[in-house]
Amino acid sequence: MDFKEYILSLILEQNPESILDIACCTGHYVRKLRESGWSGEYTGVDITRNFIEKAKELSPEEEFILGDARSISMDRKYDMVLLLGVIMHLDDYASAMDNAFEMSSNKVIVMTYATKLGYTYCKENGGMLNRYFTEEDIVKESPDGWSVERVEKFHGSRDRWVVVFDARN
């Protein structure tokens, strides 16, 4: 199972009533979830206008909003917040993580690049920041009132962490 299939299985296992997908790109995950029978409420957010326009074209029945992971603010909480494939490209990734926790009432799922070298490092790649994380880097971002439910590492052309945070009630 690759990391995308794993993330879909995690979401379907939890069966959240609502999802906020921060950095949703063109809405890949919501389309796969709908194909699998998930019927919850979905909102996708991305900073790239072209992605949002394409997402609306591909999934006109869903809500897509132009916004930045570091500063987006919603007037409600969601059962689950997805922060998939974005924090590795942000200089201020902690703000995006803080926002995800703030807007979730139950679960936050984060996927990011994992370092093979055992320490955090950054590199510029054609103008795009690529930050690689250790497991400890991700886990330490868990604020008070949240616990780490699962941590999985996926190996491939780029190793990836998938971390599930759970709100302690």
Q: For residue 70, give the nearest of 102, 50, 43, 93 by alpha carbon.
A: 93
* Residue 130 tokens, joined: 């690529």
| Three-state DSSP class for residue 114 | strand
Confidence at residue 87, expressed as pLDDT on a 0 to 100 scale:
86
Task: Give pLDDT tens digits for 10-68.
Answer: 999 999 999 999 999 999 999 999 999 999 999 999 999 999 999 999 999 999 999 99
Direct distance between the N- and C-terminal alpha carbons of the chain, in angstroms, rounded to an integer: 31
Of 70-74, 76-80, 114-118, 139-143, the one with minimum mean pLDDT is: 114-118
The predicted model scores a pTM of: 0.89
Confidence at residue 127, expressed as pLDDT on a 0 to 100 scale:
57
The Cα-based distances of 78 to 41, 83, 117 in angstroms read 9, 13, 35
Confidence at residue 20, expressed as pLDDT on a 0 to 100 scale:
98
Residue 82 neighbours by CB distance under 10 Å: 29
Task: Give pLDDT tens digits for 97-129.
Answer: 999 999 999 999 999 887 655 445 556 555 566
Answer whether 164's CB lies under 8 Å from 149's CB. yes
- Bigger pLDDT: 163 or 61? 61
Of 33-37, 78-82, 124-128, 146-150, the one with minimum mean pLDDT is: 124-128
Confidence at residue 106, expressed as pLDDT on a 0 to 100 scale:
95
* Residue 68 tokens, joined: 């930045």
Residue 42 neighbours by CB distance under 10 Å: 24
Taken in order of first residue, the domains within the chain and their CATH numbers are: 3-167 (3.40.50.150)
